[in-house]
Amino acid sequence: MDCNRKGCGNKALDWKVCAQCFLVRYCSEECLEEDWDLCHENECEGHVFNIKDLIQQNAVKPQQIGKGTYSEVCLVQHRKTKTFYALKAISKSIISVNLPLQTLFREISLHKSLVHENIVRLYDQLEDQKKIYLVLEYVSKVNLYEYIKCYEKIPENDAVKIFVDICLGIRYMHSKGILHRDLKAENILISEDFRSKICDLGWSTYCDKPRNTFCGTLDYMSPELLNGEMYSFPSDIWSLGILLYEMLHGKMPFDASNESEKLQNIKTKNFFIEPKISQAGRGLLQKILTYDPHKRITLNEILKHRWIQENYDIDCAISLGNKVNHPIHGTGSIVSIKGLICSVNFTNKTLEFSIPELASYITFANENLEESTFDPIRFEVSKDISQSFRHQHFFSASTSKIEESSSSFSSFENGNVTDSMISELIDNQDPLRIYEIQKDLLQLQQELEQPKVCKAVPQRRKTLIDQIFGNS
């Protein structure tokens, strides 16, 4: 990325940023000051929050929800909006001694530039005389490490949802030229609606050329990193493979009694895949945990893989021939769909996109229906229903929590399922009863997601609703 000062043309430093917005970068202090005086002072977005508006839940004993080497994270609530946030506090006394200022500035600048549903959002950075504060998206409940510890082994049809979320988040980071470098179960948060989000970008860096900094967590480090070789984006993909293995087996692939033995196991690729793992799952693990980074599978290949196709519920209106109106590449059409990856043919080039990525760029036409825009919310419906009902017992068995999760997917354009009907359906039901109705609810959803069926066979739709909601 070039220096933000007009006419400079030099490469910007990833830590030399505007200390107000952290969104623009410069090659030097001189360029930063000059650009501020010329124009950026008027353009700078400044701060979103005031530290006085963020109220700790317990003023006497703040509710700590996380703790790192140089920081602690507490739950806070905005005074006016009542929205909860995670407030990360870093003592100024450790800056420049244990935590270099340029490292902190780089983390803030990188993190603030990332806006994706599978990455914890950094909204603002504030400070007082003693501390620097980062205002982060609050993701309730557990991290992936705790989730695995509770379940020991995660079934493949559940692990795939977590894994795809992480892959989509990392794919977005890589598209921005950013390498995470510390992917591990503790750095994946799982929300109440079972969406996984990547957090802790402390080791993340721009990767415009191969790196050689030794960093991360031993169990997840790639062979090239451990060997002191230059590494790049495939190093993150290795870490994804470790995460997938950990979810399916409930343990690390290269576990050992000491670090030297562990290192040897990693370097010799000495790991065992349990026979009960599906053939497609075994194949994907072997392709990701490939010793040579140049032969390692890519993120797009992962999202196309047979294991994703067999286990991930892809239910959307995207199909071959759909027109794509892309803001940069212009008009194109979908020429192939494999797993979660679509190939789109533009003038003189064919590019690959993930299905969620294409959501806002697609228009499609059905027989007897007017052309309309693909709705990403409806794309998420089937996944939300399946995952929310399947995992609600882990987060909360209370009816109120279930009702809260249900509200995001309880209305359908082609049917008459409402929030009140869902609430009435699950009222006073225990989790086992909820599981029993899951199949019927999914069947109803599938019917409602098919405009042709709903239009041609309205009686079928009415019968389904009556059966599930006891109107017959």
User: Binding site for ATP: which residues?
Assistant: 88, 186-187, 200
β-pair type (205-206, 323-326): unpaired
Q: Which residues of 250-280 are buried (b: 16+ CB within 10 A; e: fewer)?
A: eebbbeeeeeeebbebbeeeebebeeebeeb
Cβ neighbors of 434 (< 8 A, separation 6 or more) are 389, 392, 402, 426
In whole angstroms, give the CA distance from residue 87 to residue 93: 18
Binding residues: 88, 186-187, 200
Residue 219 near residue 242, CB atoms below 8 Å: yes
Please compute, for residue 96, the number of CA atoms within 13 A of its CA located in the half-sphere on the CB side.
2
How far is Cα of residue 46 from the mean position of the Cα atoms in its chain?
26
Q: Is 430 a catalytic residue?
A: no
Count other C-beta atoms under 10 Å from residue 335's C-beta: 12
Residue 330, beta-bridge partner list: 326
In whole angstroms, give the CA distance from residue 1 to residue 13: 8
Residue 353, beta-bridge partner list: 342
In whole angstroms, give the CA distance from residue 412 to residue 223: 48
Count other C-beta atoms under 10 Å from residue 361's C-beta: 19
Residue 203 near residue 230, CB atoms below 8 Å: no
> Judging by beta carbons within 10 Å of its beta carbon (0-12, 13-18, 19+), is residue 52 exposed, middle or buried?
exposed
Count other C-beta atoms under 10 Å from residue 77's C-beta: 17
Q: State how far the alpha carbon of 392 is from the alpha carbons of 54, 158, 222, 377, 385, in Å.
A: 30, 13, 35, 20, 11
Q: Which of 14, 182, 236, 315 is catalytic?
A: 182
Backbone φ/ψ region at 461: left (φ over 0), alpha (ψ -120 to 50), beta: alpha
Tokens of 129: 């005389």
Residue 55, beta-bridge partner list: 77
Catalytic residue numbers? 182
